[in-house]
Chains A and B, each alone.
Chain A
Amino acid sequence: GNSVTQMEGPVTLSEEAFLTINCTYTATGYPSLFWYVQYPGEGLQLLLKATKADDKGSNKGFEATYRKETTSFHLEKGSVQVSDSAVYFCALNTPNTGNQFYFGTGTSLTVIP
């Protein structure tokens, strides 16, 4: 079956620190991979995505590379800001098999000044 596993939080970092949030997946076929972000008091919104192996998604200084060999899609940012404090969700989608989405449990990030 399809599933997503991401590192448990909460994660607390100082401003300008390096961020990694691990995400691994299990999927049949060829999934697309996503990171969604939920800022405090707001709805989920797409942060970045990658649709095939070796693709790199990037947005707002965040990056994630689709690694088929390790079935991973780790989220990274070189220098976090207080405004990055949010909950981050890794997800996969199988557009060729019903377009179902599978989400991880979320990782809460707090960045302190």
Chain B
Amino acid sequence: GAGVSQSPSNKVTEKGKDVELRCDPISGHTALYWYRQRLGQGLEFLIYFQGNSAPDKSGLPSDRFSAERTGESVSTLTIQRTQQEDSAVYLCASSLGAGYNEQFFGPGTRLTVL
């Protein structure tokens, strides 16, 4: 079956503009995660969705960042008024859910803020 997909694969934007990144998890996976990976650095947790529970937003770096998920399907990560320090690869991962402990990663969206 299909893996986790993300779009766009690359996004170049100007400072101050809003961007929206999309993630399609594996069908049937109730858990969905967003991470940020800056150049040469590790994964930085952003947000986690599990079924219909309230999302864990503890990793969002500022109120410019938000994410939504439609049921157990698509998720969008929105960054408002982008800054140059937002430039990174944004990774999405999904897993079967609580108690299942393997994550499957998408290819990422490379965001460049000029």
Contact = CB atoms under 8 A, between A and B. Distances in A.
Interface of A: 32, 34, 36, 42-46, 49, 51, 89, 93, 95-96, 98-106
B70 interface: no
Interface residues of B, number: 25
B50 A49 contact: no
A89 B41 CA distance: 11
A95 B100 contact: yes
A99 B42 contact: no
Contact of A106 (B33, B42, B101, B105): B42
Contacts of A34: 101-102
Contact of A102 (B41, B45, B56, B100): B45
A112 B12 CA distance: 34
Nearest to B98: A99
A44 B98 contact: no
A99 B97 contact: yes
Given A95-B101, A99-B31, A99-B98, A106 B50 contact: no
